[in-house]
Amino acid sequence: MSRTSTETSILEVPERDTLVDEVTLHTCLRNCMGTKDMAAGCCTLGDRDYIIGPIPDAQALLDRLSALWKRKVPYKEVFIDYAEGRALFPKKSQWQRKECFPALRVNTKDKVLGCMFLTDCNLCSIHEIRSVTCANYSCTYLKDITDRL
């Protein structure tokens, strides 16, 4: 049976970059680390021994935030340093290691202990200006999937 033009367009395969973006979004929002309905594991601590740091471009991120929010953003508003962090999470070993700081501030009122920039929809509110730590991070679960595309 011959195909109509409509059927042909349905079969078009997206560019690889588009495919990677869409698979990444789906995985991070609905199947994080292979767990159904889990989201944004790399942006939350939960009950894991995990820290969102170190952030090597801390000052540059503050500058970008200050420009975006049109006010001078203080360091303490965005970052947790070693002294504060080790006291905040004494049972998490990553928070006892000086080399993991500065860390991004997490919302301690939130049960999942999410990054302060994580939205209710589990998206990054500063995606375009996020730190190099965040921009370069890809978990092995996601990398295994996208490498096969």
Q: Alpha helices, DSSP H only, in 1-139?
A: 5-10, 16-30, 58-69, 75-78, 82-88, 132-136
Minimal distance, residue 22 CB to ligand SF4, in Å: 18
Bridge partner residues of 106 (DSSP): 115
* 57 vs 81 by CB, closer to ligand SF4: 57
Minimal distance, residue 31 CB to ligand SF4, in Å: 17
Asked if 53 contacts 133 with a C-beta cutoff of 8 angstroms, the reply is yes
2 alpha-carbon distance from chain centroid = 46
Minimal distance, residue 145 CB to ligand SF4, in Å: 18
* 13 vs 121 by CB, closer to ligand SF4: 121
* 1 vs 88 by CB, closer to ligand SF4: 88
Residues that bind ligand SF4 (CB under 6 A): 43, 52, 104, 115, 117-118, 124, 126, 130, 134
Minimal distance, residue 34 CB to ligand SF4, in Å: 19
Q: What Å distances lie between residue 70 and 41, 62, 111, 117, 131, CA to CA?
A: 30, 11, 30, 17, 18
* 23 vs 124 by CB, closer to ligand SF4: 124
